[in-house]
Amino acid sequence: MHKSRYAVRAASVALLGAVLVGCSSEQSDGPNVAQQAPSKPAQKAADESPSPSASKSAAPVVAVGQTGTFNVGETDDYGENYKVTTKMQVTAVSAKYVTPAEVGTTNQPEQGQYVKLTLTLKNVGKAPAEIMTYGMMQWEDNKTAAQDASTLEGVGEGPDLDTTYKPGQAVTGSLVLDVARRGGKVSYVGGDDPSEGPTFVVKLPK
């Protein structure tokens, strides 16, 4: 009879121990799951890290009489690893729609309308900056997609915007552009930043 009671007691203790071990095992899973959770925020933080070209500020959009600042930079020999080297200012001095005779040419505008755009470019950074506008000026509006607006009309008359600017130097010069119609915007796309988008934009009057 005593042996039977001890046997029952031993069985009960063994069962209780198994239950306790099971509970302990289930609770231990909790911390393991919690330790894995931060991996997602860590991944998110990695995804949000700035790209090499993130130092590039948004292209300034200026109208006549306004001034904006844009970055000038360079890439390595492979066209990668863009870095900003200096800063330039652009001021839209004037924008005048002109006839071929007014710019001393007999050539008719292929797109439809000549506009004489006068800009002031100034190096406000700490390193030289090279600006080349020919073939790098695009015009577009709500109806027409971006088109090359560069011409050789008026070249040689007045100061040349296409040059190397040392820190503190500035040039005020004019470009005769060929656009489809009045209005729209002209974008300078001559920057070395491999990311998409213009370097600066000038809104033309209608």
Question: What share of the chain has pLDDT > 90, as a percent?
Answer: 61
Contacts of 149 (CB under 8 A, 6+ apart): 111, 137, 138, 139, 177, 178, 179, 186
Pair (102, 20) in one structural domain: no
Pair (16, 87) in one structural domain: no
Pair (162, 78) in one structural domain: yes
Residue 73: domain span: 61-203
What's the distance, CA 100 to chain centroid?
36
The C-alpha angle 170, 174, 179, rounded to 5 degrees, equals 135
Q: What pLDDT is attached to residue 56?
A: 46
Residue 180 lies in a domain: yes
Q: What is the domain-level CATH number for residue 165?
A: 2.60.40.1240
Contacts of 110 (CB under 8 A, 6+ apart): 178
The residue-averaged pLDDT of 92-117 equals 96
Instruction: Report the number of distinct structural domains present in the chain.
Output: 2
Pair (113, 148) in one structural domain: yes
The residue-averaged pLDDT of 33-62 equals 52
Phi/psi of residue 102, each to 5°? Answer: -70, -20
- Helix or strand or coil: residue 173? strand
In this structure, is the dihedral angle defined by the CA atoms of residues 110, 115, 116 and 120, taken in order, positive or negative?
Answer: negative
* pLDDT for residue 7 is more than 70: no
Q: Is 60 left (phi over 0), alpha (psi -120 to 50) or beta?
A: beta
What CA–CA distance (Å, rounded) separates 79 from 133?
20
Pair (91, 167) in one structural domain: yes
What CA–CA distance (Å, rounded) separates 5 from 2?
5
Pair (20, 85) in one structural domain: no
Pair (15, 72) in one structural domain: no
Residue 55 lies in a domain: no
What CA–CA distance (Å, rounded) separates 135 from 191?
12
- Helix or strand or coil: residue 57? coil
Q: 38-47, 67-76, 86-95: which has the minimum mean pLDDT?
A: 38-47
Pair (117, 194) in one structural domain: yes
* pLDDT for residue 100 is more than 90: yes
Tokens (6 digits) for 87: 């800063």
Pair (139, 87) in one structural domain: yes
What CA–CA distance (Å, rounded) separates 164 from 170?
10
* pLDDT for residue 115 is more than 50: yes
H helices present in the chain, as ranges: 2-36, 39-47
Tokens (6 digits) for 160: 């040349």
Pair (30, 65) in one structural domain: no
